[in-house]
Amino acid sequence: MQIKEIEEEMARSKPYVALKHDFIDLQTLPAQKNKATEYHLGLLKAKLARYRAQLLEPTSKSGPAGTGFDVQKSGDARVALIGFPSVGKSTLLSKVTHTASEAAAYEFTTLTAIPGVIEYKGARIQLLDLPGIVEGASQGRGRGRQVVSTAKTADVILIMLDATKSDEQRRLLEYELDAVGIRLNKSKPDVVFKRRTTGGITFNTTVKLTKTDEKTIRTILAGYKLHNCDVMIREDITTDEFIDVLIDVYNKIDAISLEQVDKIARQPHSVVISCEMDLNLDYLIDRIWEELRLVKIYTKKRGVHPDLDDPVCLRKGATIEDVCNGIHRSLAANFKYGLVWVSSR
Ligand SMILES: Nc1nc2c(ncn2[C@@H]2O[C@H](COP(=O)(O)OP(=O)(O)OP(=O)(O)O)[C@@H](O)[C@H]2O)c(=O)[nH]1
Ligand SMILES: [K+]
Ligand SMILES: [Mg+2]
Tell whether 142 and 79 lie within a shared domain.
yes
| Cβ 108 vs Cβ 56: under 8 Å | yes
Show the domain range for 103: 71-187+244-292
As beta bridge partners, residue 226 has none
Tell whether 104 and 42 lie within a shared domain.
no
Tell whether 38 and 128 lie within a shared domain.
no
Tell whether 26 and 42 lie within a shared domain.
yes
Cα(157) to ligand 3 centroid in Å equals 16
Tell whether 84 and 51 lie within a shared domain.
no
Is there a domain that residue 66 lies in? Answer: no
23 lines ligand 1 (CB under 6 A): yes
| Cβ 313 vs Cβ 295: under 8 Å | yes
Among candidates 52, 56, 25, which has minimal Cα distance to 142?
56
Cα(216) to ligand 2 centroid in Å equals 36
18 lines ligand 1 (CB under 6 A): no
The β-bridge relationship of strands 156-162 and 123-129 is: unpaired
Helix (H, G, I), strand (E, B) or coil at 232: strand
Of 240, 256, 271, the last residue of a domain is: 240
Tell whether 256 and 139 lie within a shared domain.
yes
Tell whether 145 and 96 lie within a shared domain.
yes
105 lines ligand 1 (CB under 6 A): yes
Angstrom distance (rounded) from CA 277 to CA 143: 30
Q: In 10 A of CB 227, how many CB atoms?
A: 13
Helix (H, G, I), strand (E, B) or coil at 68: coil
Tell whether 104 and 172 lie within a shared domain.
yes
Tell whether 10 and 151 lie within a shared domain.
no
Tell whether 176 and 125 lie within a shared domain.
yes
As beta bridge partners, residue 268 has none
Is there a domain that residue 65 lies in? Answer: no
- Return the H-helix or E-strand segment holding 276: none
| Best mutation site among 23, 91, 128, 251 for ligand 1 pocket (most ligand atoms within 8 Å of CB) | 91
Angstrom distance (rounded) from CA 202 to CA 315: 19
Cα(102) to ligand 1 centroid in Å equals 10
Tell whether 41 and 170 lie within a shared domain.
no
Global pTM reads 0.68
The domain total for the chain is: 4
Is there a domain that residue 327 lies in? Answer: yes
Among candidates 113, 67, 267, 101, which has minimal Cα distance to 184?
267
- Cα of 265 vs its chain's centroid, Å: 20
| Best mutation site among 86, 254, 260, 264 for ligand 1 pocket (most ligand atoms within 8 Å of CB) | 86
Tell whether 158 and 262 lie within a shared domain.
yes
Per-residue tens of pLDDT for the chain, all 345 residues = 567 777 777 666 543 333 333 333 333 334 444 555 555 555 666 666 666 666 555 554 444 444 678 888 888 889 999 999 999 999 999 999 999 999 999 999 999 999 999 999 888 999 999 999 887 776 767 777 788 878 878 888 899 999 999 888 888 887 777 666 666 545 556 777 777 788 999 999 999 988 888 887 787 677 556 788 888 888 887 765 554 467 889 999 999 999 999 999 888 778 999 999 999 999 999 999 888 878 888 888 888 888 888 788 877 667 788 788 777 878 888 888 888 887 755
Angstrom distance (rounded) from CA 79 to CA 246: 10
